[in-house]
Amino acid sequence: MDPRLRIIDKRLKNIKTMIAISGGKGGIGKSLVASTLSLILSKLGYKVGLLDLDFCGPSTHIVLGIRGIYPKEEKGIIPPEIYGIKFMSIIYYAGDNPSPLRGIDISNAIIELLAITRWGPLDFLIIDVPPGIGDTTLDIIRLMKKTGFLIITTQSKVVLETVNKVLRMLKELGVPIIGVIENMKISKISFVKEQSKTFNVPFLGEIDFDEDLEDSIGDINKLLKTNFAQNMREIVLSTDKFKLRKEL
């Protein structure tokens, strides 16, 4: 048995809630949701960590405008803290280079990153994962026990078809599903909400298409003022999973 697996359990034991942000396709705003959710939870006074495991294209550091801060080595790796968020990303190891890993190599990279990262006590750890069903998603389910999945989708029939497969897999594996969020909503059609009902999965809310969102990338002050962030905040405040009793 890999001794690192026992270390992973130790590293994660003081994290109250772990949430993986997943979706059917790339380009649906998954990383934006992960980054903005982390910011909102931090602003609400929670201890938050953000882990970018999107080997396909890590981008939370771009959304948050994170530059020039790096992890520290001290009996492992201590994530840097910015905007009240402890941040860790594979970008610190791969840089701007592509990460053409597959199979066992992906698993080894994830195991190593989880084993060396010292998060300390957290209320929430938000995990940005690659789209669809792949090795990273399966490894998160295997290694980060009790992680709940938050599914991001759009009205696109192509995206919804893949989201349905993700939901079906999570259900079959008995993985907790926090709910579904519809992003980039451009019409009043409630097709996504109806699809959620067929899987008996909570529909958490809608995020309207925001023309000003792209201009806010890299500037958290602008980002938090967007309609996107306001919609996201409403979802957070109305969802029980995001309401933890804070220590006095």
Q: How many residues are present in the chain?
A: 248
Q: What is the pLDDT confidence band of residue 135, given thresholds at 50, 70 and 90? A: confident
The residue type at 180 = V
**What would the 3-class secondary structure string for 113-173 be?**
HHHHECCCCEEEEEEECCCCCCHHHHHHHHHCCCCEEEEEECCCHHHHHHHHHHHHHHHHH
Q: What is the pLDDT confidence band of residue 98, given thresholds at 50, 70 and 90? A: low
Q: What is the pLDDT of residue 25?
A: 81
Residue of higher predicted confidence among 190 and 182? 182
Strands 72-73 and 15-23: unpaired
pTM of the complete model: 0.94
Q: What is the pLDDT confidence band of residue 191, given thresholds at 50, 70 and 90? A: confident
Quick one: tokens of 2? 């890999």
61 pLDDT above the threshold of 60: yes
Strands 85-89 and 81-82: antiparallel
The residue-averaged pLDDT of 34-51 equals 97
Cα 123 from Cα 115, distance rounded (Å) = 19
The residue-averaged pLDDT of 194-205 equals 91
Cα 15 from Cα 119, distance rounded (Å) = 8
Residue 171's φ and ψ, nearest 5 degrees, are -65, -45
The residue-averaged pLDDT of 75-90 equals 95
Q: What is the pLDDT of residue 97?
A: 59
Q: What is the pLDDT confidence band of residue 103, given thresholds at 50, 70 and 90? A: low
Give percent of the chain with pLDDT exceeding 70: 94
